[in-house]
Chain A
Amino acid sequence: MSSKTLYDKLWDSHLVRQDEAGTALIYIDRHLIHEVTSPQAFEGLRLAGRKPWRTDSILAVPDHNVPTTDRSLGIADPISRLQVETLDQNCAELGITEFLMNDPRQGIVHVIGPEQGATLPGMTVVCGDSHTSTHGAFGALAFGIGTSDVEHVLATQCLILKKSKNLEIRVDGQLAAGVSAKDVVLAIIGRIGTAGGTGSAIEFTGTTLRAMSMEGRMTVCNMAIEAGARAGMVAVDDTTINYLGGRPYAPKGELLDRAIESWRALHSDPDARFARSVTLDAGLVLPQVTWGTSPEMVSAINEVVPDPDDEADSVKRDGMRRALDYMDLKPGTAITDIHPDHVFIGSCTNARIEDLRAAAAAIRGRKVAAGIKQALVVPGSGLVKRQAETEGLDKLFKDAGFEWREPGCSMCLAMNADRLAPGDRCASTSNRNFEGRQGQGGRTHLVSPAMAAAAAVTGHFTDICQEQG
């Protein structure tokens, strides 16, 4: 038998049929659904007189539109409210499990899937959301799909796909204190670019990934899509298996033993071939801060904003100029001289308990700086929120001057009321710094939770390695 990568194994084990032209029918084990990309799919299903193939594969949750303030009065915006109600109606009508807005388990779909054990190793996991790559941290094949494919999975439990190329991103070595999974993935994107993984499934390998917690691995896989790859994944090990024990949807008892035995094979064979491999030395990664309007426009904390004049490619040069103009930054400005006026700690990238712990630790008894207009902490789920409150993190944040909110996507994409005003500058733990992403005219700097918290209390980006050293 020839050697296989993890992606090859996941692909082969879900292959229902393959036609001569190279398109394949791939079986989907888990379908996660939220309110934004599903209504047209349910409508399409109804118009065609079709029924969902397997409702027990589906878990639904509203997350994009939900308010992060007091929810007892419901959603104020009537259009947002209708979208969430439409999800509720569709799920109720078809018998689909949904965590409603006021359910304590509600949260960002990519936080609650793993938290519930609804994401398991060896699964195919899809969702009408590009950050579905997050779930690949469990040795699963997980990727985002459009609404037509949401309908396709509802109706057939399968997707028509072409196999991607195998791309290995190997990170070895120990991270310095203050450097996190977020910095690793931003450094990777800085290296290979936002289209570096296009057409590929990325497997993140190496000793750095092996040493990372599941939360860290999820952060890395979450942003595989920001490197252009629909899917990112990490092989199964004890860290994966230990994380899953006791989670509501995870197998238990003898079934768990059987599952673990099969999960142990979910790694690339030692001599498996990748179409391409990229290596990164973790010891050289410093805290990262994006300065532009694409995640690849990123610098280390000890660097300066680059000069477009140094860029040879003319379209790229124009893009950098546009980005700096939009961000209101001058070439040569030290990253540590950038002063955000908003801080957002949240999103499917960085709103898990470990992220909140890292952010809280970086406060170090200080208060939110005078120049910060708003500092938000939005936990990834109701259960993350509860855990943080048990640990007293909410008090640390609130005492420092942060707002402690209800779970949801919030200011990562600003579909609810949490958004930047034109010209606002935000240190954000989210995943996209596109123009207008956090609110029209808003300026986003992508950073780690510790960096966001440090920026909140110092008023500028700070070398947290030196602080922690």
Chain B
Amino acid sequence: MEKFDKHHGVVMPLDRHNVDTDAIIPKQFLKSIKRSGFGHNLFDEWRYHDHGEPGMDPGSREKNLDFVLNHPRYQDATILLGRHNFGCGSSREHAVWALMDHGFRVVIAPSFADIFFNNALKNGLLPIVLDEDDIDQLFTAVLETPGYRIRVDLPAQQISLPNRHTIHFDIDPFHKDCQIRGLDDIDLTLQHAAEIRSFEEKRRLTAPWLFNNQN
């Protein structure tokens, strides 16, 4: 997993509730058996006027210039500012891969759907929950200020704004540590392999029907 320590970047506002993972990466792109290459199809149906299919040359497609991702001032954005219930819907991790492949490292929202939140943490895309007032103020600031950049400091759990104000954010210690060190959580879990095995053996005795895969 990509490490996350501190990040300074341009903020892109996406002022909609319930941005679902179907919108983030439409289904036709999930046919890929790879983890990469999804960035050009991030928000495909909002971003282009024509219908997208895997393998199309993004340069030849008709862009929807009204969609925020296509605004010149957000071309270098690496921090996405969203609204309530960001990432709802399907469990597709492709949504996180697409955001990261496009260049996003942070998503800030008042709330996230559970599976998306977890998928983000598994890949080094930092999901930050802030309260509605802070979110509203960030939207105002981003819209008023071209090139609006903020600094995200994960070790300090702090966002620094250009006006020198800071906002504290919460993250549980396990995930914080994994992000900062870029840890592979399978390795972490396998450190407890003996415990898993002993749990499994007990379970095999008390509930043997769970280990019966015969038909």
**Chain A interfacial positions (CB closer than 8 Å to B):** 16-17, 19, 21-23, 25, 27, 29, 36-37, 39-40, 43, 48, 50, 53-54, 56-57, 59, 64-65, 77, 79-80, 82-83, 86, 97, 116, 120, 122-123, 128-130, 144-149, 151-152, 155-158, 160, 162, 164, 194-195, 198-199, 228-230, 248-251, 255-256, 258-259, 262, 294, 315-316, 318-319, 322, 413-415, 422, 432, 434-437, 440
Contact = CB atoms under 8 A, between A and B. Distances in A.
A194 B85 contact: yes
Given A43-B33, A82-B31, A195-B111, 16 more contacts: A16-B199, A40-B93, A50-B186, A53-B196, A146-B119, A152-B185, A230-B115, A250-B209, A259-B209, A315-B15, A316-B17, A413-B27, A413-B90, A415-B28, A415-B31, A436-B26
Interface of B: 15-18, 20, 22-23, 26-28, 30-35, 45, 51, 54, 83-85, 88-94, 96, 111-115, 118-119, 122-123, 172-174, 184-186, 188-190, 192-193, 195-196, 199-200, 203, 207-215
B128 to A, nearest CB: 16
27 contacts: A16-B192, A16-B195, A16-B199, A19-B174, A27-B199, A27-B200, A36-B30, A40-B33, A64-B30, A122-B207, A146-B115, A152-B185, A194-B85, A230-B115, A249-B212, A249-B215, A250-B209, A251-B209, A294-B20, A315-B84, A413-B22, A415-B27, A415-B30, A434-B22, A434-B89, A435-B45, A436-B26
A155 B190 contact: yes
Contact of A228 (B32, B114, B208): B114
Contacts of A53: 196
Contacts of B92: 36-37, 146
A383 to B, nearest CB: 13
B210 A319 contact: no
Contact of B118 (A59, A129, A146): A146
A22 B114 contact: no
Contact of A25 (B30, B94, B123, B192): B192
Given A25-B192, A40-B33, A149 B122 contact: yes
A151 B93 CA distance: 12
A37 B119 CA distance: 12
A350 to B, nearest CB: 18
B210 A29 contact: yes
A148 B90 CA distance: 15
A248 B215 contact: yes
A152 B186 contact: yes
Contacts of B192: 16-17, 25
Nearest to B210: A29
Contacts of A255: 208-209, 212
A194 B88 contact: yes
A413 B184 CA distance: 32
A56 B189 contact: no
B18 to A, nearest CB: 5
Contacts of B115: 130, 144-146, 230
Pairs A-B, 7 closest by C-beta atoms: A248-B215, A251-B209, A146-B93, A146-B119, A39-B33, A148-B122, A144-B91
Contacts of A36: 30-31, 92
A156 B196 CA distance: 8
B59 to A, nearest CB: 20
B169 to A, nearest CB: 17
A335 B184 CA distance: 51
A324 B134 CA distance: 29
Nearest to B35: A40
B150 to A, nearest CB: 21
Contact of A315 (B16, B20, B173, B213): B16
A157 B200 contact: yes
A434 B199 contact: no
A83 B31 contact: yes
Nearest to A23: B174
Contacts of A162: 172
Contact of B93 (A56, A147, A259): A147
A203 B81 CA distance: 33
B170 to A, nearest CB: 13
A195 B190 contact: no
A141 B114 CA distance: 16
B65 to A, nearest CB: 18
Contacts of A156: 186, 189-190, 193, 196
A86 B33 contact: yes
B64 to A, nearest CB: 13
B213 A97 contact: yes
